[in-house]
Structure formats: C-alpha cells, structure tokens
C-alpha cells in the first residue's frame, strides 16, 4: 500500500482472497514516531460462508512498546526490556506529556479508517486433482538433526556423571575395606607374635622338673658349701627366667597399646577426612547473587519538559557455580511535564468531539 505523504490522505490497494485465505492483516507506521502504528490483524472477510460486500473499520493508534517517549517527535530511544503492544486512548498512557492525553474526552476520534470493498467474486469452474484431494495425509512430527544431537549430548553427559559417581563410590568402599583389612592384619600379627613368645615360657616353666633335695651328710663341710652354692645358682636362674617373662609381657603390652593407638588414629583420621569432604561439598554449592535495597529516586533531570529519575542498588555478593545471576542494578522512570513550557493552548483541539 503506498504511503500517505501529507498529514491526511487516501491510499488504495487490491488483494485477492479465497476460501483458504480469507484473513487480511495490514499495518502502517505513524511518522515521525518510531513505534506508533495503525492496522488490523487477521481481519475476517468471509462470514457464514459469504463474502462481505463492504465494511469500514475505525482505528486507534497502537504503541509497539519498542521505544520511549510520549510525543510524535520522541527520539529513537529503545525500551529495554521491550514493552507490550497496547492501544493508545484519551486516558492511557496517563501522562500529561502524552500527545493523545485528553482525560476529559471519553474517546478519541478515529485517527484512520480502513474500508474493505468487494470488487469481484469468482467461482470455481473445475476441480483438478480430485484423487489427490481424497488422499489422507498424516502429519508426523520428526526431530531435527540438531535436536537429536542435543538430546544425545545431554544423555551422554548424564550417563558420564552417573558412571563417575559410581566409580567414586566404589573407590571409597575399596579404600575403607583396605584400611579395615590392614588394621585386622596388624592386630592378628601382634597377637600371633605375643602368643608365640608367651607359650614357650609357660611350657618351659610348667615342664620344669621338681627340685631335688640333696641330703648333706652331717659334719661334712665341703658338701655343705656345695649345697649352698647349688641353691644360689638355682635362685639366680629362676630370677632371670622371671625377668625374661616380665620383659616379654611388657613388650607385648607395649605393642598391643601401640596397635590400639594406631587403630584409634586411623579411625580419627578417617572421620576427619569425611568432615573435610562434607565441608568441601558445602563450599561447592551454588551461590545466588545478592544485591542491596534500592536507593532513593534521584531528582528529575529537567525542570521544564520531560526528564528522567533514576535509582540504584549495589551487588553484595556475586553468584558462583551456576547460581542465580545479578538482577538489574538501575531503574529509570519519566518525570516532569511540558505544560509549564508552553502556552495554555493544546496541540490539538478535540473538545468538540466529546461524546
């Protein structure tokens, strides 16, 4: 459709519609505004199986929500994030600087009209490919190569993660079993050594022959001295054997105590390692970004006309390990008015069109 070069005018275009394509959509931009439009979307021209002969549609301006500004001559200042599309009325948006803001009027006069007129109506004289039309088609939704590859990669990642967890669990169990086996082997070795050292001493002490009492002839000085010497030698040998037994028992007790101490140290070391692993897991958790509260709004940037006000907030802690990212740290809003910058007259005088 050709553009209207002046402030008002008329433009025409022809379209062909049929039973499979009975909806019409058209749109035109209002210059110099960057995001004001007029148009219709999916307008039905076939009602009840009959084509409409003629119809007129009155239109209001639409705001696409892509740029800031309330007037026709607003700069091309993008809106971030993009707003929703809405219909501009006499009371919305409710800002005094708006070009269409006339709160005393119930409705604005139409800014444009679309008139659809049926010029000709054609009838189908012959149907081709009847056999093709009678066929039944089944719509099958297939995965694209990229979707299939993406799903395959995700499945492989999940499988790899599961295998890694099982491997780590098996390693931990094997380490615990090895530590327990080493502890049992050391304990059995010390016990065997202790029994091997103690049994011969007990057997020898139990198998010793009873002492023979030598009869010393009376008044035989030489025989008496020999008997005293033999008795002293036996007491000395018994004392040495007793000392050997005590020394062996003390050494065995020392080894038993050392083995017990080693087992306690191994248990304490394993418990400490588990605590360190739990602490590392807690430290590896996700951390979301934390921000401060909003500051107060700043003063308006302009005393005459439309300005801006801002407020800010700071990042207290940044997100880590896939945590929630930081939100916006700055917000802006409009402020001020142009009513104090111009005379009492308005841009348009639509007071006569109140209804």
pLDDT digits (tens, 9 = 90+) for 85-94: 888 888 888 8
Both 179 and 246 in one domain: the answer is yes
Position 255 in a domain = yes
Q: Tell me the sheet residues that pair with 56.
A: 115
Q: Is 264 left (phi over 0), alpha (psi -120 to 50) or beta?
A: alpha
Position 61 in a domain = yes
Position 340 in a domain = no
Position 129 in a domain = no
Give 160 or 139, the one with higher predicted confidence. Answer: 160
Number of neighbouring beta carbons within 10 Å of residue 288: 13
Domain that holds residue 304: 290-335
Position 81 in a domain = yes
CA quadruple 62, 65, 68, 73: dihedral positive or negative? negative
Position 163 in a domain = no
Both 310 and 245 in one domain: the answer is no
Separation of alpha carbons 126 and 232, rounded Å: 144
CA quadruple 9, 10, 11, 17: dihedral positive or negative? positive
Q: Is the pLDDT of residue 258 over 50?
A: no
Our count of domains for the chain comes to 3
Per-residue pLDDT, 297: 92
DSSP assignment of 21-56 equals B-EEEEEEE-SS-SSEEEEEEEEE-EETTEE-SEEE
Question: Residue 307 belongs to a domain with what CATH number?
Answer: 2.20.100.10
Position 13 in a domain = no
Q: Is the pLDDT of residue 313 over 80?
A: yes
The H-or-E segment that residue 90 falls in is none
Confidence of residue 278 (pLDDT cuts 50, 70, 90): confident
Extract the tokens encoding 197: 């050292």
Separation of alpha carbons 252 and 194, rounded Å: 6
Q: Which range is most confident: 117-131, 217-231, 313-327?
A: 313-327
Q: pTM of the prediction?
A: 0.36
pLDDT tens by residue, 337-349: 766 665 555 445 5
Both 250 and 297 in one domain: the answer is no
């Amino acid at each position: 459709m050709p553009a209207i070069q002046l402030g008002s005018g008329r433009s025409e275009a022809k379209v062909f519609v049929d039973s499979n394509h009975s909806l019409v959509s058209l749109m035109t931009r209002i210059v110099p505004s960057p995001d004001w439009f007029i148009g219709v979307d999916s307008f039905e021209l076939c009602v009840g199986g009959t084509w409409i002969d003629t119809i007129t549609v009155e239109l209001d301006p639409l705001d696409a929500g892509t740029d800031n500004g309330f007037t026709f001559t607003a700069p091309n200042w993008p809106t971030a994030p993009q707003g929703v599309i809405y219909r501009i009325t006499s009371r919305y948006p409710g800002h005094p600087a708006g070009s269409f803001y006339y709160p005393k009027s119930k409705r604005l006069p139409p800014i444009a009209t679309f008139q659809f007129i049926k010029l000709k109506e054609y009838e189908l004289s012959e149907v081709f490919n009847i056999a093709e039309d009678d066929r039944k088609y089944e719509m099958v939704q297939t995965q694209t190569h990229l979707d299939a590859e993406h799903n395959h990669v995700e499945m492989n990642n999940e499988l790899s993660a599961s295998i890694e967890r099982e491997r780590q669990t098996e390693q931990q169990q094997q380490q615990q079993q090895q530590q327990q086996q080493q502890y049992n082997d050391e304990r059995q070795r010390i016990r065997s050594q202790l029994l091997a050292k103690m049994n011969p001493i007990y057997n020898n002490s139990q198998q010793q022959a009873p002492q023979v009492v030598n009869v010393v002839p009376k008044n035989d000085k030489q025989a008496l001295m020999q008997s005293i010497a033999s008795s002293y030698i036996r007491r000395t040998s018994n004392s040495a054997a007793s000392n050997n037994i005590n020394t062996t028992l003390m050494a065995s007790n020392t080894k038993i105590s050392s083995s017990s101490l080693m087992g306690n140290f191994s248990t304490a070391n394993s418990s400490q390692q588990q605590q360190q692993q739990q602490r590392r897991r807690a430290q590896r958790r996700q951390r979301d970004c934390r921000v401060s509260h909003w500051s107060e709004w700043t003063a308006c940037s302009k005393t005459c006309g439309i300005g801006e006000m801002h407020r800010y907030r700071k990042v207290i802690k940044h997100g880590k390990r896939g945590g929630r990212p930081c939100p916006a740290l700055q917000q802006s809003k409009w402020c001020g008015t142009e009513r104090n910058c111009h005379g009492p007259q308005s841009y348009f005088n639509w007071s006569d069109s109140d209804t």
